[in-house]
Amino acid sequence: MDGVPLRCFSEDHSEEMFVDDGVETVTSVEQKKVEHSIEEVINVYKQIHSLPQPALLREQHYQYLKKGLRHLSDAYECLDASRPWLCFWILHSLELLEEPIPTTVASDVCQFLSRCQSPTGGFAGGPGQHAHLAPTYAAVNALCIIGSEEAYNIIDREKLLDFLWSVKQPDGSFVMHVGGEVDVRSAYCAASVASLTNILTPRLFEDTISWILRCQNWEGGLSGVPGLEAHGGYTFCGTAALVILGKEHMLDLKALLRWVVSRQMRFEGGFQGRCNKLVDGCYSFWQAGLLPLLHRALFKEGETELSRQRWMFEQQALQEYILLCCQNPTGGLLDKPGKSRDFYHTCYCLSGLSVAQHFWNLDLHHERVLSREENRLAPTHPVYNICPEKVAQALQHFHRLPVPSGDRASDPHPAAAAAADPQS
Ligand SMILES: [Zn+2]
């Protein structure tokens, strides 16, 4: 897409700005403030650059990420219970930038994550903490990105299955940790790690599908638990979990599509997480990442009007937002202009940028890299958000191993009980 005029430089771009119809609210004031800050960013960029070709600051991001693997500032103290997440955010950002991870660093990360693994299965937010589904997801993803024998061998699959059973609820949902809260993130984290490591059994996810389906509300998106407001992060988790379980067609796909495409902001080009909220760089993945899932789901349903070249959102506008508004000049990406960088937003801005650059459906692959070829990132897997070849490699490795026999439930399945009884 070299030389393609920028959408946000066009004459009529300001016509996309928010109109409050004379009704001023806290929300409308905030929305206008954000639009003005973005307008300013665009104007400054115009003044400095005669050729509008926004660049991905690869080297700066690489340096920021590399440093983060070894040293974190005091500001990260609050994430002491999310340390496997930091590993995942940084390793995934590096793989998107196609920067190899040195073997010694990879091995150190493996050893650290092994210390986060709980003796009762699953991974905790840090050594000595209790197992929790979110860091379990992050740790398994990080280990699959590393993709070495050492990395795969760290995961105790039998105990991981025990842990998943310990957080499974009678109504099909999962709690995030023993005694913890229920929301649809947990179903996704459980389905993701179970499918990657080949411990997924229908029994483990019994009633989970109907529970997730109940999270889709009148807006079309999904909420954290049935009956609440639709939200980008939960919608991604619920939809991706259903894709893993092969039941995404049971959602109202058209209503979901309408909801998610309406979350792309007209002026900013990025996505908001919920109706009437502000744009935020991390929703570049949580929302835009839904479009590949929806595209493929509708394709499977035999929808004939689907494009063979692009997703159903404005891919260029999202790339413009990320490249112009979400990059810290010294490396790292962020929510919106004026916010500070962090590894979470770096990971999800880059993941969203990758989704906006690569269209992929069966054997069709179409790239749409804004402004210069050097901005190209590696593609990401729309369900697991790690690079597709790492998903394939993990599946290949773990599918050679048998599914652990700890597939228990409070009331044993009659067929399983019969199979275990040599007399029957
Ligand atoms: Zn955010």
CA of 344 to the centre of ligand 1 (A): 8
* β-bridge pairing 358-361 and 364-367: antiparallel
Q: What is the pTM of this model?
A: 0.94
Task: For residue 2, name the pLDDT band (cuts at 50, 70, 90).
Answer: low
CA of 7 to the centre of ligand 1 (A): 23
| CB neighbour class for 325 (10 Å; exposed up to 12, middle 13-18, buried from 19) | buried
Average pLDDT value for residue range 188-198: 98
CA of 208 to the centre of ligand 1 (A): 28
CA of 342 to the centre of ligand 1 (A): 10
CA of 121 to the centre of ligand 1 (A): 30
Question: Rounded CA gap, 241 and 195, in Å?
Answer: 10
67-95 per-residue burial string, b: 16 or more CB within 10 A, e: under 16? ebbeeeeeeeeebeebbbbbbbbbbbbbb
Please give the helix or strand (H or E) that residue 364 lies within, else none.
strand 364-367
Residue-wise pLDDT for 85-97, tens only, equals 999 999 999 999 9
List the catalytic residues. Answer: 231, 274, 277, 280, 282-283, 335, 342, 345
Task: For residue 378, name the pLDDT band (cuts at 50, 70, 90).
Answer: very high
CA of 114 to the centre of ligand 1 (A): 29
Cβ atoms of 323 and 55 closer than 8 Å: yes
Residue-wise pLDDT for 15-51, tens only, equals 999 999 999 999 999 999 999 999 999 999 999 988 8
Cβ atoms of 291 and 312 closer than 8 Å: yes
Closest C-alpha to 152, from 193, 204, 104, 92: 193
Mean pLDDT (the chain) is 93
Residue-range domains of the chain with CATH: 54-399 (1.50.10.20)
